[in-house]
Amino acid sequence: MIRYLNPLQWFKWFGQWFIAWFRTIPWKRASTAIPALGLTIALAILLFVSTGENVSWRNQLIREQLASAFERDDYKTADLLIRRQIEEGDESAETLYRLAVARNQQDETEEARSLMRGLVAQQRDARAARWLLQELYEQKKWADLENEEQREFGQLLRLLSEEVPDDLGIKKAYADYLIRTNRQNQAVPYLVQLASVQPMFGLQAAMISRQAGEDDAATRYAETTLEKIQQLFEEEPASPQLAMANVQALIFLEKHADAVRLLSESIGRMKTKEHQAGLQQAMGDTIVVWINKIESEPNETVEERLRVLKMLQVALQYAPNNPRVLSLVADQVLKTLESDDKELGKIRAALVKGSSPGIANFIRGTAALLKGDAEKATLHLKLAVEHLPHSPAILNNLAVAIAEKEDGDLEQALQISEQAIESVSTPNAYFFETRGQILTKLGKHLEAIPDLERALAEESLANAAHESLAVCFEALGQQDLAEEHRAAMTEEAETSD
């Protein structure tokens, strides 16, 4: 009984059966069966060929006709052939993509977009995503996109950044999208990847990291960027673009002295006057940034003021017409007007003399205004306006000077004040305070109140604004509000004491 369960015994019996069957074949007459065997083999081959999807002669014929239709721009024929493929079960991404292209060429735009969106959603097709980006968003500005469009735009970029990781253009576009949608931290990894090809993206990543409070990462990215740029700069020491990139990285790392030294050396290497002038302006900007850094650290000694003024002298030598330099010259000279230090006064006078006529007169006029000499202030500020007619600071100070003169033309002062406010996109409290005070003197109390209330935000203007508000409310019969502002004046005075 055990032998019936033994697999070896079963193989032995099968072998015996096969030998016995083979001996029964009439081999002497086997030649007569050859045609039948050949026909059977041929039919089997034909059946295999006709049913094989990838090598089907019919499918091959359709593919050839389809390629020919696209070459001839015969999209109606292409549409018909693609639909035959789909009917036979071919719903591959390639087939659906071609159908969408054919429908779009036949002005069936919405259907084409729907097909492409389906490919993106269901099969994460990169070609469909790129097509949608080009068709829907390539010619549009970010500000023109609706919320839903912005969302789809971001989804397409994200898909492409994942499916086509070597496309740096897509990475840059996606990083820009993340930054625009206030997801700067998510943009940092993409910027770091881009920095391998374009180092300045590393500095952008550093800036974002610093804003996020990640100072160690910011320093690391900036130092890596600086190292790469310096390597490139050694190869092309006469490149103004690389010189500027180098300076920007040094400024970010607060190596201001190194940035100034590099600019000083690079200006002489430049091959054209245009490039030299560009770096000279950069020198002025760099010194301004350095001074602002110094100013952020409280150190109001005479020595520090002297240091700043000497730095400004250097800035004026390189960039005498740089607006940022000239504005800082005015600020620093006005800050030191009350100082009796002889050396400070000497450098201050040299700075005024070395400035443009417009800035020099602005400084002189503002200094006279601070000393209460409205007549002299008006003279110099009018001269300043002749040179710099669109400067809001000069216009504002001129309006103040005219309004403070005994015989000042208040209507003219109001007109100049409004011109100053209109010349800037975001007027500050000083501008509104000027107009508010002029309106108060003109007896236009109701119109003056909004401007004076805006001035309360600036601590140095609050006391005068409270005083004028009290006058305005009293004139309008609002005694309670007038008393509140007089009380606020008292509080301001006590606080300052």
Q: According to the model, what pLDDT value does residue 3 have?
A: 62
- The gap between the terminal CA atoms of the chain, to the nearest Å, is 120
Exposed / middle / buried, residue 316 (Cβ in 10 Å: 0-12, 13-18, 19+): buried
| CB atoms closer than 10 angstroms to residue 243 | 25
Q: According to the model, what pLDDT value does residue 55 have?
A: 45
Exposed / middle / buried, residue 115 (Cβ in 10 Å: 0-12, 13-18, 19+): buried
Give the pTM.
Answer: 0.65
Q: According to the model, what pLDDT value does residue 341 have?
A: 74
Question: Between helices 323-335 and 357-370, what is the axis angle to 10°?
Answer: 30
3-state per-residue secondary structure call for 223-267:
HHHHHHHHHHHHHCCCCHHHHHHHHHHHHHCCCHHHHHHHHHHHH
> Can you give the residue ranges of every domain in the chain?
80-181
What are the E-state strand segments in 135-202?
A: none
What does residue 56 show for φ and ψ, rounded to 5 degrees? -60, 130
Of 319, 222, 236, 304, the residue nearest 270 (C-alpha): 236
What does residue 169 show for φ and ψ, rounded to 5 degrees? -65, -40
Cα 235 to the chain's mean position, in Å? 29
Distances (CA, A) of 361 to 44, 339, 390, 403: 103, 20, 15, 19
Residue 79 near residue 96, CB atoms below 8 Å: no
SS3 category, 443: coil
Tokens for 431? 């501008």
Q: According to the model, what pLDDT value does residue 49 have?
A: 56
pLDDT in tens, 409-427: 999 999 999 999 998 777 8
Residue 161 near residue 177, CB atoms below 8 Å: no
Q: According to the model, what pLDDT value does residue 384 have?
A: 87
Cα(200)–Cα(198) distance, rounded to whole angstroms? 6
Q: According to the model, what pLDDT value does residue 56 have?
A: 55
Of 225, 214, 166, the residue nearest 192 (C-alpha): 225
Q: According to the model, what pLDDT value does residue 54 have?
A: 47
Could you identify the residue written with the tokens 């059946």? 47
Q: How many residues does the chain have?
A: 497
Q: According to the model, what pLDDT value does residue 272 have?
A: 92
Please name the residues in contact with 403: beta carbons below 8 A apart, sequence gap of 6 or more: 410, 413, 434, 437, 438, 441
Q: According to the model, what pLDDT value does residue 353 have?
A: 73
Confirm or reject CATH 3.30.420 for domain 80-181, answering yes or no: no
Residue 150 near residue 181, CB atoms below 8 Å: yes
Cα(292)–Cα(331) distance, rounded to whole angstroms? 11
Tokens for 260? 């100034």
Cα(250)–Cα(253) distance, rounded to whole angstroms? 5
Q: According to the model, what pLDDT value does residue 467 have?
A: 93
Q: Residues in the chain with pLDDT < 50?
A: 53-55, 497
Residue 420 near residue 429, CB atoms below 8 Å: no
Alpha helices in 88-166 (DSSP H): 93-105, 109-123, 126-132, 147-163
Tokens for 369? 């205004």
